[in-house]
């Protein structure tokens, strides 16, 4: 038995067999020379692999037809057409004869060239096709060379597993077989990286930042994973298994007790009423948000529509997805964040340009403003879906007022385009900004003039204020909300919102962190948006405390001169009052 300790990233317990997943990048594609006489045997191998890929895709296409909308299912149809395309076969044969290399290498090479040509074209449609080619080539290569595990392996599993990996791309997490993956253990990552956020959204227990776990665990070994304490035990003894089972019973009881709060308001003992909303990444999560008592969607991460092999979110797909969420939520507000791609959220095979500092690079609103036509596709889809409910638009990664003005001008253009086409669209739509860059927090008073609301993204605000990469487990410990600089940014942002008469919300992970609830109440936060399953617990804390005591706590915390001093104040409050269920 061996125990690893990491970052508790998604609560819950799981016991099961390890599936050790090697990423594409790590699983090298073999490369060797062949003789002319070997061409025909390589060609036969390819035919066999193509047949296997066709049968996999046919099954996926059928499944998608049942579980997704038509446009999404059609993506697999397009992949099938490519696999069966004579011209594509001809190119591969030519490549094989010309290069005299093994067929895996030829497939990678030919598809790589095709992708590069498409990526160089200005029309985004061609870049989307490049993503499809990447997906198809991965599939063929892994049918040829099964030793390399791929994300297609993760998408369809035939037994329950605990997934162990060095790291996962958000697209891996998004497409993995959620009915089979009972837990996730990663070498990399932190509590606020996107894999952690998705694991929580899917209620999959996860421990991240384990450093070496993927090298130390072997496929098939038994694992006991505790996503609440951050421990992963390999080959657990009977005692460990039993104590984990007992803990599971206690946790289930707590969940039942908390669900009784569903209909009650999030109100302190002295009458301060705040709003609790849910963060979602997929339309399917909206129903879960209502189940946990969310009073709206405070953050719909629309970029997850684009992430995932073969995803192609044109205006109609987006329109359908936003409409679906709005209809499920009825009159409750749904805050759709315009795409926040870039940074650690990349489309496989799309953003291959190597930026030295992707987190400081071409991300979010910067990407949208640089591609106004693509941005307007999203804005039109939101405006049109807006007739189905109470939609709001939120712009991510705003660093200055110019970006807000440009985004609003494009929104006007998008509206005019809908009107011109005679498409019904929301007459008015509130627009707000995320406060997640220190410069935005510093000029919150200016941004408030152009915003109907603020939503504080603490995941990035902490990352950028403290210069700590949120996905890097080596420096993750520095990303601490108790830092006095973070508190000052929060206070300044909330005060600026209130001065302008607008609401200050928070949709970073801190909003769902029970240790911070009293502090945030005391700082005057109006809305907390979090993983839906965290809502009942946060509500219980709010209902058990007074605003008065929270204000005192916040004042004392703001006097702290160091992380340690602030933490001591916050910890004294939580320990003393025993208010955290
Ligand atoms: C944040 O930065 O706090 C946030 C909510 O956005 P994301 O986690 O998607 O970057
Ligand atoms: Mg962010």
Domain boundaries, the chain: 2-22+152-237, 36-148, 271-577
**pLDDT for 547:** 97
Q: For 218-249, how does the pLDDT look when each residue is reduced to its tens digit (9 = 90+)?
A: 889 999 999 988 999 999 999 999 998 898 88
Could you say which of 3.30.9.10, 3.40.50.12780, 3.50.30.10, 3.60.20.30 is the CATH number of the domain covering 2-22+152-237?
3.50.30.10
For residue 579, pLDDT beyond 70: no
Taking the CA of residue 343 as reference, the ligand 1 atom at the shortest distance is: 10
Q: For 313-369, how does the pLDDT look when each residue is reduced to its tens digit (9 = 90+)?
A: 789 989 999 999 999 999 999 999 999 988 777 665 454 456 788 889 888 999 999
Query: 393 has which bridge partners?
Result: 336, 431
For residues 157 and 362, what is the distance between their CA atoms, to the nearest angstrom?
Answer: 35
Contact present, 209 and 190 (Cβ < 8 Å): yes
Predicted TM-score (pTM) of the model is 0.73
For residue 480, pLDDT beyond 80: yes
For residue 76, pLDDT beyond 70: yes
C-alpha of residue 432 to centroid of ligand 2, in Å: 14
What residues does the ion ligand 2 have nearby, CB within 5 Å? 436, 457, 460
C-alpha of residue 51 to centroid of ligand 1, in Å: 42
Q: Which residue's CA is the nearest one to ligand 1's atom 4?
A: 457
**Mean per-residue pLDDT of the chain:** 88
Q: Is any ligand 1 atom within 6 A of the Cβ of residue 560?
A: no
C-alpha of residue 542 to centroid of ligand 1, in Å: 23
Taking the CA of residue 194 as reference, the ligand 1 atom at the shortest distance is: 8
Query: Domain 271-577 adopts which CATH fold?
Result: TIM Barrel (3.20.20)
Query: 21 has which bridge partners?
Result: 165
* % pLDDT > 90, the chain: 57
C-alpha of residue 525 to centroid of ligand 2, in Å: 18
Q: Which residue's CA is the nearest one to ligand 1's atom 3?
A: 457
Contact present, 361 and 323 (Cβ < 8 Å): no
**pLDDT for 376:** 96
Catalytic residues: 194, 507
Q: Which of 193, 303, 435, 436 to mutate to test the pocket of ligand 1 (most atoms within 8 A of CB)?
A: 436
**pLDDT for 215:** 86
Taking the CA of residue 299 as reference, the ligand 1 atom at the shortest distance is: 5
CA-wise closest residue to 92 among 46, 134, 129, 56? 46
Which bin fits 234, alpha (ψ -120 to 50), beta or left (φ > 0)? beta
For residues 430 and 397, what is the distance between their CA atoms, to the nearest angstrom?
Answer: 18
Contact present, 50 and 83 (Cβ < 8 Å): yes
Taking the CA of residue 279 as reference, the ligand 1 atom at the shortest distance is: 5
Matching CATH topology for 2-22+152-237 and 36-148?
no
Read off the tokens for 206: 């996860």
Taking the CA of residue 301 as reference, the ligand 1 atom at the shortest distance is: 9
Q: Is any ligand 1 atom within 6 A of the Cβ of residue 345?
A: no
C-alpha of residue 33 to centroid of ligand 1, in Å: 47
For residues 536 and 544, what is the distance between their CA atoms, to the nearest angstrom?
Answer: 12
C-alpha of residue 296 to centroid of ligand 2, in Å: 19
Going from the C-alpha of 306 to that of each of 155, 314, 340, 378, 432, the distances in angstroms are 17, 9, 10, 11, 22
Q: For 269-306, how does the pLDDT look when each residue is reduced to its tens digit (9 = 90+)?
A: 999 999 999 999 988 889 989 999 999 999 999 998 88
Strands, sheet with 222-226, edge to edge from the N-terminal-most edge strand = 2-5, 231-234, 222-226, 13-21, 161-165, 181-186, 206-208, 7-10
How long a stretch of residues is the chain?
Answer: 581
* % pLDDT > 70, the chain: 90
Taking residues 47-52, what's their average pLDDT? Answer: 91
Read off the tokens for 23: 């990423």
Q: Is any ligand 1 atom within 6 A of the Cβ of residue 513?
A: no
For residues 151 and 25, what is the distance between their CA atoms, to the nearest angstrom?
Answer: 11
Contact present, 301 and 278 (Cβ < 8 Å): no
Q: Is any ligand 1 atom within 6 A of the Cβ of residue 347?
A: no
Q: Is any ligand 1 atom within 6 A of the Cβ of residue 283?
A: no
Taking residues 404-412, what's their average pLDDT? Answer: 98
How far is CA 238 from its chain centroid? Answer: 36
Query: 434 has which bridge partners?
Result: 455
Range of lowest pLDDT (47-61, 119-133, 384-398, 505-519): 119-133
In CATH, which superfamily holds the domain spanning 36-148? PtsI, HPr-binding domain (1.10.274.10)
Read off the tokens for 576: 């003393």
For residues 222 and 236, what is the distance between their CA atoms, to the nearest angstrom?
Answer: 7
> Residue 404 contacts by C-beta under 8 Å, 6 or more apart in sequence?
395, 398, 433, 447, 450, 451
Q: Is any ligand 1 atom within 6 A of the Cβ of residue 459?
A: yes
Q: Is any ligand 1 atom within 6 A of the Cβ of residue 455?
A: no
Residue 64 pLDDT grade (very low, low, confident, very high; cuts 50, 70, 90): low
Other beta carbons within 10 angstroms of residue 114's beta carbon come to 19
For residue 26, pLDDT beyond 50: no
Strands (E), 302-425: 333-337, 390-395
């Amino acid at each position: 038995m061996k125990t690893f300790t990491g970052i508790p990233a998604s609560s819950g317990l799981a016991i099961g067999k390890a599936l050790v997943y090697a990423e594409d990048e790590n699983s090298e594609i073999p490369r060797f020379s062949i003789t002319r006489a070997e061409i025909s045997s390589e060609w036969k191998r390819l035919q066999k692999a193509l047949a296997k890929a066709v049968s996999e895709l046919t099954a996926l296409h059928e499944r998608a037809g049942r579980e997704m909308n038509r446009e999404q299912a059609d993506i697999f149809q397009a992949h099938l057409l490519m696999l069966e395309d004579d011209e594509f076969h001809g190119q591969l044969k030519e490549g094989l004869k010309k290069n005299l290399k093994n067929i895996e290498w030829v497939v990678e090479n030919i598809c790589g060239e095709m992708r590069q040509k498409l990526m160089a074209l200005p029309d985004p449609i061609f870049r989307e096709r490049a993503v499809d080619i990447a997906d198809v080539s991965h599939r063929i290569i892994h049918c040829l060379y099964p030793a390399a595990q791929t994300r297609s392996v993760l998408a369809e599993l035939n037994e329950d597993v605990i997934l162990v990996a060095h790291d996962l791309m958000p697209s891996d997490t998004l497409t993995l077989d959620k009915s089979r993956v009972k837990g996730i253990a990663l070498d990399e990552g932190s509590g606020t990286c996107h894999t952690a956020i998705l694991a929580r959204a899917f209620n999959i227990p996860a421990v991240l930042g384990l450093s070496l776990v993927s090298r130390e665990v072997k496929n098939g070994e038994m694992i006991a994973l505790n996503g609440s304490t951050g421990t992963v035990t390999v080959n657990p003894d009977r005692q460990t298994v039993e104590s984990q089972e007992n803990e599971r019973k206690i946790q289930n009881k707590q969940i039942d007790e908390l669900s009784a709060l569903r209909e009650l308001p999030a109100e302190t003992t002295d009458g301060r009423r705040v709003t609790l909303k849910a963060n979602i990444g997929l339309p399917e999560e909206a129903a879960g948000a209502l189940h946990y008592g969310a009073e709206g969607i405070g953050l719909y991460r629309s970029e997850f529509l684009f992430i995932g092999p073969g995803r192609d979110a044109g205006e109609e797909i987006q329109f359908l997805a936003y409409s679906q969420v709005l209809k499920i939520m009825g009159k409750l507000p749904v805050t759709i964040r315009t795409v926040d791609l870039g940074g650690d959220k990349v489309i496989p095979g799309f953003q291959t340009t190597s930026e030295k500092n992707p987190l400081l690079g071409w991300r979010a609103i910067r990407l949208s403003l640089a591609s106004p036509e693509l941005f307007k596709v999203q804005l039109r889809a939101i405006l049109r879906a807006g007739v189905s409910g109470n939609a709001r638009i939120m712009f991510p990664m705003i660093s200055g007022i110019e970006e807000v003005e440009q985004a609003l001008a494009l929104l006007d253009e998008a509206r005019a385009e809908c009107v011109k086409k005679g498409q019904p669209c929301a007459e008015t739509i509130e627009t707000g900004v995320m406060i997640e860059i220190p410069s935005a927090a510093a000029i919150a008073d200016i941004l408030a003039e152009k915003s109907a609301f603020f939503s504080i993204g603490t995941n990035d605000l902490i990352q950028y204020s403290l210069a700590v990469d949120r996905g890097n487990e080596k420096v993750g410990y520095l990303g601490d909300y108790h830092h006095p600089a973070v508190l000052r940014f929060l206070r300044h942002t909330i005060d600026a919102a209130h001065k302008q008469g607008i609401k200050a919300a928070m949709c970073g992970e801190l909003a769902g962190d029970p240790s911070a609830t009293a502090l945030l109440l005391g700082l005057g936060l109006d809305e907390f948006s979090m993983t839906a399953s965290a809502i009942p617990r946060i509500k219980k804390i709010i209902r058990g405390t007074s605003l008065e005591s929270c204000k005192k706590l916040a004042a004392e915390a703001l006097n702290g001169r160091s992380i340690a001093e602030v933490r001591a104040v916050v910890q004294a409050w939580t320990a003393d009052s025993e208010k955290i269920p």
